[in-house]
Chains A and B, each alone.
Chain A
């Protein structure tokens, strides 16, 4: 799917929100996060190494997520990221903001259709 300029803008604005949301339930590693974003958006949103890891490291730097190396028998060592308390708070705020925004957009667009 060729990405347009509008897509990129939207993506940048919402990327942190997406990552925080995905880490809400459980810890995940980078590739899993990328794959889930792609699957759940049915391919509309894609993150690759170059776009994902700088974001992850930035979120970690800001203390919203915390990474930890985990090694399981017979598997490669992977770095798992989980949500910190601060991250959870930010996620809640973002979610409310997003819903407010969507509601507002809906109200506007509906008026135009009517």
Chain B
């Protein structure tokens, strides 16, 4: 550096500049010489020779150039040392880099927009799916220390039931005997006709809770008081708490509501409190009333429980503690506890179990899409990197350090990623809104999909991860480039090295492989979807409308009154124009349960210790089977004579039940009864299985009883299920036209009875399939995007390889290769990569799709046809993507290529 300065000063002598200006000129010129020295040195010359040349260049042709500097001496003085120089701070460097990045990206709009588009799509998908996972799986419930809240239930594998519910004696024993819970509460859902003075009666849903409920949740009443233990005893006076929502909407948020009397199913209840808005559990309740169960009496398994674990107690410990209490009851006579056992499970897991699995699978799928997108972007960036090799070389020669160049490339990636996130996140939120708007009704209301800090963190990290994934390879490529070689070839064409070609090959294999995983998954789900929708549900949902009417005990206390009401209602409805059939049932398909056990005459009972399954009992009026479109396989339907009080007791059974008791022989004429009862029911009809619990579930064994018979012989537990009947109308035309006239008829018959839950059967079927439709469709979308990205990747890579080898191909053609040979060779090269990708993908898919098995229906996760189809499909797509550049290779004009290499 020093000898440069002296040499420059020697030339400036004649210019006679003032000292500061001279210093500035010396600085500028010596710097130039230093740059030049480095350039020469990098190109491989020995240092002495470099120095000699640099000094020689100072002489040039005109030895007196220094003298010409005289005129503008004052203009080039540098700022005094220590003065703030624009551009000196880190922030300024950053702005400089960002500006540079934006400028260089704007110069290649096609590249930039492609990268931003691909990344934005992938980020949008990830943002939307993450919000769903966040709402369903990650976000804590809106209660204090909600990780200590657990669901309490009983299980009975011998009855073929995963969850049976909790009986009153069991809950009493658990509550008394446990040593692992702070508190536990039990509840059952109920619905009422709510009558408030001066307003029309309406149907409200509620829960009957034990008095500990609010304390278990860790909440306090918004107004008034909580239930006291005295309110929760059998026969105590009617008190009710209103939810915040009902209080605000039906009582105008009036604090004087406390002490008011409202009528629930015609019984008076006093409002003692208003629940806080946070009381979103139990789900879908407008009012709370005390359970007031008689602890001394046996009961059915109709309760749900929720407990707050004592601090430091694990779920396993709590479960073994309850099991101990539960089994101790066997000694005091509750022998049924041999079959049942308590279940303790995290609150969220119980209610969202299936959705959690679905959301995890979707998150995995959309992450794969993101990886494919990143691989694509990395390939694009590497191609751009090759094209920019001259620019990078010049920069390096000009003194840019490797870390400066890496910083610049990274800045470009950041700019691209930020632009992609700016488009992708809003797009993802729009998609999320679309998905949430169509969420099935059974997603609990306490699940919220609102945005939170976790979402923001996710978006930032996934964007950063995508940015890193897609820019590491290109940056490494640039930094590893042999500068000297690049400098020598700087003005000629840029070519990919063997190593770079291998990386591109790896990208293609990766993309194809990941795409195969998604295609196979989508194929499996699509086949499952097709199996589900094309299955015979055992009823015909088209042209069917349903609505419910519940008869309160106060006014319809006796079976005869209820039977008379439905008789009259159905006979009036029969007069509706366009009506084909009408009937009522306690449990229409896809809704309602009422279980019990039966034993069959002549079939040994208790074969393996009471392992007879719990049978679905359905009460139905005559006309119901025609209205719902059930298929009678043998025997006859119910007729009016079956409803007479003196009529012989008859039932209709479904295929599953018939098979269970009598195998393949006919059930008609056989008899069944409740265990231990003396009343036999004769089987008069056999129905095709109805998919009662959902189209993708097996039909449960089912017994249909005439409504009149069921009503007359019901115990108090049964009555809960017979309270509420669903009327089913089959129309010759659009069934929704029947709703208005039907509502008039219900109103004329009893103005106090609201008609509610009005829906068409096709809607109900649609909604029951909503989750499956959603994830199948999303998977399909992801797979399509993956295929398009993979095809683009193959096309781009092969095109690039061909453009690299134009000269080589030209020479081959010139020395006698035929275009067909060139075509075959290029195709083979490309298809080798595609085939490896397909093979890797199929292996990966075989493993990955096992995660889908819980979502499949009538198709195995290893279905060979689907894998073969996915492989062949991907090979065809790969072939097409290869064909265009290969044809281009075959049509290379050797003369032109050799003239202009």
| Residues in chain A within 8 A of chain B (CB atoms) | 8, 30-32, 34-36, 39, 42, 48-54, 57-58, 60-61, 67, 69-79
Q: Does A49 lie within 8 Å of B57, measured CB to CB?
A: yes
Looking at B11, B61, B62, B87, which has the most chain A CB atoms within 10 Å of its CB? B87
A35, B72: Cα distance in complex, Å: 25
Known: A49-B29, A51-B61. 11 other contacts (CB 8 A): A34-B32, A36-B394, A42-B491, A48-B36, A49-B8, A49-B32, A49-B57, A50-B59, A53-B29, A69-B85, A72-B87
Bits for B31-62, please: 1 = Cβ < 8 Å to A, else 0. 11101100100000000000000000111111
Q: Which A residues are in CB contact (< 8 Å) with B57?
A: 48-50
Q: How far is the CB of A6 from chain B (nearest CB, A)?
A: 14
Partner of B71, one of A8, A42, A61, A71: A61
Q: Does A35 lie within 8 Å of B397, measured CB to CB?
A: yes
B68 CB-CB contact with A under 8 Å: yes
Q: Does B60 lie within 8 Å of A69, measured CB to CB?
A: no
Partner of A71, one of B69, B85, B399: B85
Q: Does B399 lie within 8 Å of A79, measured CB to CB?
A: no
Q: How far is the CB of B397 from chain A (nearest CB, A)?
A: 7
Q: How far is the CB of A45 from chain B (nearest CB, A)?
A: 13
A32, B28: Cα distance in complex, Å: 12
Q: Does A53 lie within 8 Å of B86, measured CB to CB?
A: no
A73, B92: Cα distance in complex, Å: 9
B494 CB-CB contact with A under 8 Å: no
Q: Which B residues are in CB contact (< 8 Å) with A48?
A: 36, 57-58, 60
A28, B85: Cα distance in complex, Å: 17
**Interface size bracket, B side:** 35 or more
Q: Does A78 lie within 8 Å of B87, measured CB to CB?
A: no
Mark the stretch among B75-83, B269-277, B319-327 that contacts chain A.
B75-83
Chain A residue nearest to B73 in the complex (CB): A57
Chain A residue nearest to B7 in the complex (CB): A49
Chain B residue nearest to A34 in the complex (CB): B32
A64, B90: Cα distance in complex, Å: 31
Chain B residue nearest to A53 in the complex (CB): B29
A79, B32: Cα distance in complex, Å: 10
B490 CB-CB contact with A under 8 Å: yes
Interface residues of B, dominant DSSP: helix
Q: Does A31 lie within 8 Å of B36, measured CB to CB?
A: yes
B832 CB-CB contact with A under 8 Å: no
User: Given A31-B35, A32-B398, A76-B399, does the pair A70, B86 have CB atoms closer than 8 Å?
Assistant: yes
Q: Does A70 lie within 8 Å of B32, measured CB to CB?
A: no
Please list the 9 inter-chain residue pairs (A to B) with the smallest Cβ-Cβ separation, ordered nearest first.
Answer: A50-B60, A48-B57, A61-B72, A31-B35, A71-B85, A54-B68, A31-B32, A50-B65, A71-B88
Chain B residue nearest to A30 in the complex (CB): B32
Q: Does B76 lie within 8 Å of A72, measured CB to CB?
A: no
Q: How far is the CB of B734 from chain A (nearest CB, A)?
A: 69
Q: Does B31 lie within 8 Å of A76, measured CB to CB?
A: yes
A79, B35: Cα distance in complex, Å: 14
Q: Does A54 lie within 8 Å of B32, measured CB to CB?
A: no
Q: What are 20 A-B interface contacts by the 8 Å CB criterion?
A: A8-B61, A31-B31, A35-B394, A42-B491, A48-B36, A48-B57, A49-B57, A50-B57, A53-B25, A53-B65, A54-B69, A57-B69, A57-B75, A61-B71, A61-B72, A70-B85, A70-B87, A71-B85, A72-B88, A79-B28
Q: Does A60 lie within 8 Å of B85, measured CB to CB?
A: no
B804 CB-CB contact with A under 8 Å: no
A79, B29: Cα distance in complex, Å: 10
Partner of B75, one of A51, A53, A61, A76: A61
Q: How far is the CB of B832 from chain A (nearest CB, A)?
A: 39
B821 CB-CB contact with A under 8 Å: no
Quick one: which of B552-607 are within 8 Å of A by CB? none
B390 CB-CB contact with A under 8 Å: yes
B662 CB-CB contact with A under 8 Å: no
Q: Does A67 lie within 8 Å of B59, measured CB to CB?
A: no
Bits for B880-894, please: 1 = Cβ < 8 Å to A, else 0. 000000000000000
Q: Does A50 lie within 8 Å of B490, measured CB to CB?
A: no
Looking at B72, B92, B401, which has the most chain A CB atoms within 10 Å of its CB? B72
B847 CB-CB contact with A under 8 Å: no
Q: Does B62 lie within 8 Å of A51, measured CB to CB?
A: yes
A71, B82: Cα distance in complex, Å: 12
Chain A residue nearest to B401 in the complex (CB): A74
Q: Does B31 lie within 8 Å of A78, measured CB to CB?
A: yes
B93 CB-CB contact with A under 8 Å: yes
B250 CB-CB contact with A under 8 Å: no
A57, B330: Cα distance in complex, Å: 105
Looking at B57, B59, B61, B89, which has the most chain A CB atoms within 10 Å of its CB? B57
Chain B residue nearest to A39 in the complex (CB): B491
Q: Which B residues are in CB contact (< 8 Å) with A69?
A: 78-79, 85
Q: Does A60 lie within 8 Å of B29, measured CB to CB?
A: no
Q: Does B90 lie within 8 Å of A51, measured CB to CB?
A: no
Q: Which A residues are in CB contact (< 8 Å) with B72?
A: 57-58, 60-61
A39, B57: Cα distance in complex, Å: 18
Q: Which A residues are in CB contact (< 8 Å) with B490?
A: 39
Chain A residue nearest to B89 in the complex (CB): A73
Q: Does B87 lie within 8 Å of A51, measured CB to CB?
A: no
Quick one: which of B257-294 are within 8 Å of A by CB? none
B27 CB-CB contact with A under 8 Å: yes
Chain A residue nearest to B39 in the complex (CB): A35
Looking at B28, B65, B69, B85, which has the most chain A CB atoms within 10 Å of its CB? B28
A53, B531: Cα distance in complex, Å: 81
Q: Does A30 lie within 8 Å of B28, measured CB to CB?
A: yes
Q: Which B residues are in CB contact (< 8 Å) with A57?
A: 68-69, 71-72, 75-76
Q: Does A60 lie within 8 Å of B79, measured CB to CB?
A: no
B96 CB-CB contact with A under 8 Å: yes
Q: Which B residues are in CB contact (< 8 Å) with A67?
A: 75-76
A72, B87: Cα distance in complex, Å: 6
